[in-house]
Amino acid sequence: MSDPYGPPPSQDPADRPPHGQQPYGQQPYGQQPAPQWGQPQWGQQPPGGQPPYQPYQGGGPMNPDERTWGGAAHWSALIGAFVAMAFLGPLLVMLVKGNQSGYVRAQAVESLNFQLSILIYGLVSFVLVFVLIGFLLLPIVGIAWLVLTIIGSVKASNGELYRYPLTIRMVS
């Protein structure tokens, strides 16, 4: 039976490192490897690399492309509801354009959280149909979803940050 973690260490004394030293390429337990020349130290950004994600704070210049994609994060839920699931549209916008613009990411995350919340509210309302209160709740959830999604689409297309009411913030 062979060892799945690599070949066994050599038994030849000439292949062993001097006493107290680690084999080449291995570090003692709990120690970080020393950086090589030209490499960033542990926890540092590489030179010329992508800066870390910063959440959108508002303000600042916004180009029309950002406003279009911000609105698409909301109205894609309407299209997604007829094709598959409403949360797939905002999720796709977040994955495609979310790293390029803080505004688009903020709008996509807000819309995604709202669509997931509405999915949960709809499932709870469906279960409550069996105790008859769901017959009242399902149309209310559906109308609220449609109206609030349209409001979010219009506000985001105008370049405004929109926060949905009664939303469970699962994605940040």
How far apart are the C-alpha atoms of 161 and 138, rounded to whole Å?
28
How far apart are the C-alpha atoms of 103 and 151, rounded to whole Å?
17
pLDDT of residue 135: 94
> Greater confidence, 49 or 142?
142
pLDDT band for position 32 (50/70/90)?
low
pLDDT of residue 63: 84
How far apart are the C-alpha atoms of 86 and 80, rounded to whole Å?
4
pLDDT of residue 41: 58
How far apart are the C-alpha atoms of 168 and 112, rounded to whole Å?
10
Domains of the chain, residue spans? 64-157
pLDDT reading at 4 higher than 70: no
How far apart are the C-alpha atoms of 112 and 166, rounded to whole Å?
13
Please answer whether residues 125 and 141 qualify as being in contact, where contact means their C-beta atoms are separated by less than 8 angstroms.
yes
pTM score, whole prediction = 0.66
pLDDT of residue 111: 94
pLDDT band for position 83 (50/70/90)?
confident
Find the helix or strand (DSSP H, E) in which 109 lies.
helix 102-127
What is the helix, strand, coil percentage profile of the chain, to 5? 50, 0, 50
> Greater confidence, 65 or 26?
65
- Per-residue pLDDT reduced to its tens digit, 41-57: 555 665 555 555 556 66
What's the mean pLDDT in 85-91? 91
